[in-house]
Structure 1
Amino acid sequence: MYRSIPLFIIGAVVSSALVNSSDAAALNQRVSGTNCSYGNGSTTSALISIGNAIFNQSTTSAETISCPVTDDDRFRKQDITTLNVHGYNGSTTGVAVEASTCVVFFGATGEACSASVSSTANGNYTLSPPTTVWSSAHSSDFGFIRVKLPAKGGATASSVRGYYTAS
């Protein structure tokens, strides 16, 4: 009887480890567009953050915003393999929402950005710009997402609701 106790304990430990195993390397994050800030547009007074997103309320000009990207020991930007930027394109004349990934150099003036991706469709959008600029070659640089929001053409303004990242 007492010989079976060690076997029972070993079995319980192995079973517990199998039941509770997970892929610790797979991480994801959802970030609200309200964390984004005004970029280099000409009429930043048209950009308004209203609780759930950041909007371009201008009816005449596009605005550019920047969204920070988490980069710490647990969730490094160079490990991000999926990026989806979500929002609404308020243009009714086919003007595109554009998104790209960028870094600001930590030890020099300047930045580098990926090619932008875009959507001209009026309505909800999901854009997935390439994350190659966040590679290990730029591991010490500061990453961000740049989004150009077209002017509002109808009742609803162009916006960034947020973005999703996964490694």
Structure 2
Amino acid sequence: MQNFDGLSDIVMGMIIDKTKTRWGKARPWLLFMGLPLILPVLLVFFVPTAFSEDMKEVYIAVTYFLMSVICYTAVNLAYHSMLPRFSLTSEDRCSVSAVRSVFSMMATLVVATITPSIIGKFGGFNSQSAWTTTVLLYGIIAFVCIMITFLKYIDSLKLIPRTNKGWRMK
């Protein structure tokens, strides 16, 4: 799986680099892949009980591949590709990266802490509907965050007037 993930990073990087839209190169991929990311995440946690054990393993491998290698790679690479264009100063980029890392760790801690309670309220660990509801809730929250990033991001390189010799850097 890691080999495919490494290859998909390279391919998605090339796709982002060739993208030309009014929203820039990377930002549209948040819009295009934000919602498709939720479906394979849900499918990973919704394994059909009627499948044989072998079919369940194939199903899990395929849905996990779709989620991590395709959809998550597109959103995550687009998100991280926007950072160098966020600001012209390395101090700003470092600050934003540090804040993102801190909030990411905090979110991971919160999710790890509250997920057992949420699943318990929706029916318990052995309840498929509890897992589906919990993952759907997290998927909606993630989609809203991705859309906020899409809507609020400003590409600082677009703010610099173009000269005859290319971009004028301050």
Q: TM-score range by the shorter chain?
A: under 0.3
Larger radius of gyration: 1
Structure with the bigger percentage of strand:
1
Q: Give me the TM-score of the superposition, normalised by structure 2.
A: 0.28
Q: Give me the TM-score of the superposition, normalised by structure 1.
A: 0.28
Structure with the bigger percentage of helix:
2
